Amino acid sequence: MNWWDDALHRATAEVILVGALAGLIGVQVVLRRLSFFTMALTHATFPGVVAASIIGVNIFVGGVAAGAVVALGVAALSRRQGQNAAAATGVVLSGGFALGAGLVATQNGFSRDLSSFLVGSVLTVTPQDLVLTAVVLAVVACVLAIGARPLLFTGFDRTGARAAGFATTAWDVVLLFTIEVVVVTVVPAVGTILALALIVAPAAAARMWSHRLPVITALAMAFGVLSGLGGLYVSSRWNLAAGASITLVATATLLLSSLLVRIPGRAVPA
């Protein structure tokens, strides 16, 4: 039997790739304080993947298309005078999830396939899902490496970024679209609802251990991978839902880091 024919083997490879991918993009989400926006994207992705499933299109295409529209819409609303970015994002969060629920209601009951989009079903990932996740991981790593300097400038000193000649709005859109691609990619593993925790928790935990971006990034990816593997073990050991187990382990990693860094006499490295 081929190694990839075993569902547990595929799930193990997927959680490793997804954990690294979530940790990588999570650093940008945490440092730029985009957690609420990312949560809105996870909810807005739901109608996209549901619609794609209904019409027979790849859920990755449907999710990315829906997320791209939402990302551009929120960016446009937040730039208009009198509009509040948080308010616009909150409306999108509720509206997107309501649209997804409405689409589900048009079907004959809430099928198992559609419910897996909410909380994931990592044991059912296909070899094609693995290839897609690996490709997205490589592309996201290249985008963040190429755009490291402009993303750093636009994230912490927008005035300085403009003075240096960087197109701040364009780089904002690039980052938001990259976050959306990651959100859609992790759907098979943890679903749209639980994706936020896997993206934010490892990066937030890593942020407590260092102030250096390369160290934070490496730790976030490591914590993401460990969360995926730990969650998969918990799921198989106690027969729990894999997506929920992965999310709980990621949350536990954040809580444990929070406790450890408060130990008297311990200083966070520079």
Determine contact, residues 231/156, Cβ cutoff 8 Å: no
* Residue 44, pLDDT score: 77
* Residue 77, pLDDT score: 62
221 CB-near residues (< 8 Å, 6+ apart): 19, 20, 23, 24, 202
* Residue 65, pLDDT score: 85
* Residue 7, pLDDT score: 87
DSSP structural state of residue 32:
T
pLDDT under 70 in the chain at which residues? 1, 3, 74-89, 92, 107-115, 264-270
Please give the structure tokens belonging to residue 173. Answer: 């859109």
* Residue 112, pLDDT score: 46
Least Cα distance to 200 among 61, 150, 208, 240 occurs for 208
- pTM for the whole thing? 0.88
Rounded Cα distance, 48 and 40, in Å: 13
* Residue 80, pLDDT score: 58
SS3 123: helix
* Residue 51, pLDDT score: 82
* Residue 267, pLDDT score: 54
Rounded Cα distance, 255 and 248, in Å: 10
* Residue 113, pLDDT score: 59
Rounded Cα distance, 6 and 13, in Å: 11
